[in-house]
Structure 1
Amino acid sequence: MQQRLVDRHPEVPADQLVAQMVPPPTFDEVSFGSYIPDPKEPSQAAAVSKAEQFAEQVTKLRKAADKKPLFGKKKPVHGIGLYLDGGFGVGKTHLLASIFHSVPDPKSFGTFGEVTNLVGALGFNNAVERLSGNSVLCIDEFELDDPGDTMLVSRLLTELTDRGVSIVATSNTLPGQLGEGRFAAQDFLREIKKLGALFEAVRVDGPDYRHRDLPPAPEPTSPELLAEKAAATTDSTLDDFDGLTKHLSTLHPSRYGALIDGVSAVFVSNVHPVTDQAVALRIVVLADRLYDAGIPVTISGAKLDQIFTQEMLDGGYRKKYLRAISRLLALSRFEAPAHA
């Protein structure tokens, strides 16, 4: 019988949320040496060098923090910050994961959404305590979507750096511009500036590697062929688009990773442009988790680059939607595993 994502109702205990904060499988083996800078984009080689230096500094800070003084009290160690800013698909997450792999334990890696979800699941003080022993907290896709997140993250990162935890983040928006176009950023300028002051910003330029020398969005599969492919692919799922988006609304985004655990390929029928922003943002989170897991996506209906309306793309969440399209297109070009 064909599996469906809508039949899955995963539970993720709060105490497992910190333990699972590691780079996605796609970045298990990456290193500074495996990042291949584009010779046409000198900022990429410079970013690799800066990331390596940051990892070395974090390691030295950890050693200093662990060193027992001969006399008197141990001097407090303050964490440092690095902010990798650039467009989609220039290898920022590769560098972020390389830093994670290069520094001492304990350490944590998660998207901005996963970090805020962690605080929501554990409570602020508990989250600070669990993360305060880290050498580093790596935050991918740093974004501020509402005033609450602004205040929460500002307070969290300030407390962690005061306790010696270093912070490295990636984003498509410079720290001083976070929140622009999403809410009344001027009302929270002090908090946004405080966040920006924690980081040294490094630019990473270049075209999206996922689209280099690749054709545009593939034509959708016919409904009949989609069902045949799903049936022929072991451990795959087949869902109707509207049914899937409705199911996503019943799950906390922190469970989306567990929702696709063990799935080899995702097939979705009757895809169409989304007009509801809440639905669109859930699709963004699911696209991130699918991309992290490297799960192929095959669809029928509208093309994947048409999944968000132009009105959506012209709004405050434009960068989120463009990232999701970029990742879904990359997944649509993956080959689904052969059937057993």
Structure 2
Amino acid sequence: MVQIEQLAARTPAVSVDELLKGFYPSPRFGQVSFASYRPDPNQPSQTAAVKALEAFAGGVGAGDGDGLFKKLFTKKVATRAGIYLDGGFGVGKTHLLASLWHAAPGPKAFGTFVEYTNLVGALSFRKTVEALSHYKLVCIDEFELDDPGDTVLMSRLMRELADAGVKLAATSNTLPGSLGDGRFAAVDFAREIQVLADQFDVIRIDGEDFRHRGLPDAPAPLKNSQLAAQMRAEFDGKTVAEDEFSSLIGHLAGVHPSRYRQLIDGIDGVVWRNVETITEQAVALRFVVLADRLYDKDVPILASGVPFDKLFTDEMMHGGYTKKYFRAVSRLTALAREGQNHEPS
């Protein structure tokens, strides 16, 4: 028997302490390591990235014994504070970043770019700096800068953490010096981008999307009449969130994205009826965050309506946020494939 709930009926509340305690890799990457990463033998940059990160992990916390006096009055050597993994979708950047987090000594933090901006919103900028400056390592996944306000915010945060001796590691699909390229022309914005780029050594990871490497095409959307039987076949004895897609979209507007992790807490699968193409940018960006959280927790999806490669408009897929949308489609497609492993009886 399947226990059915609705995401549209959930309104999670999250305290500041819960936000701070949540900065660790998601269950999908909870047990990963450098050894469990599977480099493509045809892509030597992947093996090189593993070696570089292993060396970087060995340097995290290396200067802890210097003492406060020496840190304050000894001239700092002009070395970069962090490492930056650039590459396409599904080449294992998050796997490697989480492996670094697991290998490095604590205290340490791991979160997405959005989760850090949400933390600043909850704590204030100064308190966020105070909280994170005691860490040895701060990992930022999907470091995608889509508006100048967030760029200034995160650039300041990175500079202050680097000055405090915190090691930084980040992933993105865009090189640091190219973040925001072609989107904003303001002189101040360009200056912030350059300062940010100077904080990182860049490692390029090439390869094809492992989520679809050697796998069949994503399953076609189901018919509404097929959903109940497929849900019983896939999720017998589990808890499933079943929502009309339009109702879910409307509900997400009233739930802050920082709470999406709690929104899907305890859910083993999701079923969406009548998926439609999202036409509003703000709605689409919220849905990208939900897709990331579902992927983090490896929640299979059953859906009717349009296929996920039609979830966003052509303008969105080729606009300023194109990498976000392609990542979401890639992840949703992987989860849809996981949602159809059994034949209904």
State the TM-score, normalizing by the size of structure 2.
0.92
Equivalent residue number for residue 248 of structure 1:
252
Equivalent residue number for residue 7 of structure 2:
5
State the AA in 1 paired with 2:304: S
Residue 227 of structure 1: how far off its partner (Å): 3.2
Distance change (3 Å), C-alpha of 1:115 and 1:337: farther
- For residues 320 and 182 of structure 2, the distance between their equivalents in structure 1, rounded to whole angstroms, comes to 5
Equivalent residue number for residue 96 of structure 1:
97
Secondary structure at the residue paired with 2:4?
Answer: coil
Equivalent residue number for residue 286 of structure 1:
290
Per-residue CA deviation, residues 208-259 of structure 1 (Å, 9 max, x unaligned), is 0011112223111111221344466321011011110110000110000000
Distance change (3 Å), C-alpha of 1:12 and 1:219: same
Q: Does 1:65 align with 2:41?
A: no
Equivalent residue number for residue 36 of structure 1:
38
- For residues 45 and 230 of structure 1, the distance between their equivalents in structure 2, rounded to whole angstroms, comes to 40
Equivalent residue number for residue 129 of structure 2:
128
Residue 36 of structure 1: how far off its partner (Å): 1.7
Equivalent residue number for residue 170 of structure 1:
171
Secondary structure at the residue paired with 1:148?
Answer: helix
Q: Does 1:56 align with 2:52?
A: no
1:187-266 paired onto structure 2 within 5 Å: 187-230=188-231, 233=235, 234-266=238-270
Calculate the aligned-residue CA RMSD, in Å: 1.9
- For residues 329 and 187 of structure 1, the distance between their equivalents in structure 2, rounded to whole angstroms, comes to 38
Residue 129 of structure 1: how far off its partner (Å): 0.8
Is the CA contact (8 Å cut-off) linking 2:302 and 2:339 kept in structure 1?
A: no
- For residues 306 and 59 of structure 2, the distance between their equivalents in structure 1, rounded to whole angstroms, comes to 48
- For residues 32 and 217 of structure 1, the distance between their equivalents in structure 2, rounded to whole angstroms, comes to 29
Residue 145 of structure 1: how far off its partner (Å): 1.0
Secondary structure at the residue paired with 1:133?
Answer: coil
- For residues 71 and 67 of structure 2, the distance between their equivalents in structure 1, rounded to whole angstroms, comes to 10
- For residues 288 and 207 of structure 1, the distance between their equivalents in structure 2, rounded to whole angstroms, comes to 19
State the AA in 2 paired with 1:19: K
Is the CA contact (8 Å cut-off) linking 2:278 and 2:312 kept in structure 1?
A: yes
State the AA in 1 paired with 2:319: G
State the AA in 2 paired with 1:114: E
Q: Does 1:47 align with 2:78?
A: no
State the AA in 1 paired with 2:294: L
Equivalent residue number for residue 18 of structure 2:
16
Paired positions, count: 333
Is the CA contact (8 Å cut-off) linking 2:244 and 2:272 kept in structure 1?
A: yes
- For residues 148 and 188 of structure 1, the distance between their equivalents in structure 2, rounded to whole angstroms, comes to 9
Residue 336 of structure 1: how far off its partner (Å): 6.9
- For residues 337 and 294 of structure 1, the distance between their equivalents in structure 2, rounded to whole angstroms, comes to 14
State the AA in 1 paired with 2:141: D
- For residues 36 and 327 of structure 1, the distance between their equivalents in structure 2, rounded to whole angstroms, comes to 18
State the AA in 1 paired with 2:208: P
- For residues 66 and 204 of structure 2, the distance between their equivalents in structure 1, rounded to whole angstroms, comes to 34
Equivalent residue number for residue 145 of structure 1:
146
Distance change (3 Å), C-alpha of 1:170 and 1:136: same
Residue 37 of structure 1: how far off its partner (Å): 1.2
Q: Does 1:333 align with 2:337?
A: yes
- For residues 300 and 279 of structure 1, the distance between their equivalents in structure 2, rounded to whole angstroms, comes to 19
Gap regions ≥5 residues in structure 1: none
Per-residue CA deviation, residues 77-130 of structure 1 (Å, 9 max, x unaligned), is 787210000000001111100110111111000000111111111111111111
Per-residue CA deviation, residues 288-319 of structure 1 (Å, 9 max, x unaligned), is 00000000011001111110111111110000
Is the CA contact (8 Å cut-off) linking 2:218 and 2:334 kept in structure 1?
A: no
Residue 337 of structure 1: how far off its partner (Å): 9.4
- For residues 81 and 112 of structure 1, the distance between their equivalents in structure 2, rounded to whole angstroms, comes to 15
Equivalent residue number for residue 74 of structure 1:
70
Distance change (3 Å), C-alpha of 1:185 and 1:265: farther
Percent identity between matched residues is: 54
Secondary structure at the residue paired with 1:169?
Answer: strand
Per-residue CA deviation, residues 2-60 of structure 1 (Å, 9 max, x unaligned), is 31000000001012111110001111111111112111101111111111111111142
State the AA in 2 paired with 1:55: A
Gap regions ≥5 residues in structure 2: none
Is the CA contact (8 Å cut-off) linking 1:181 and 1:315 kept in structure 2?
A: no
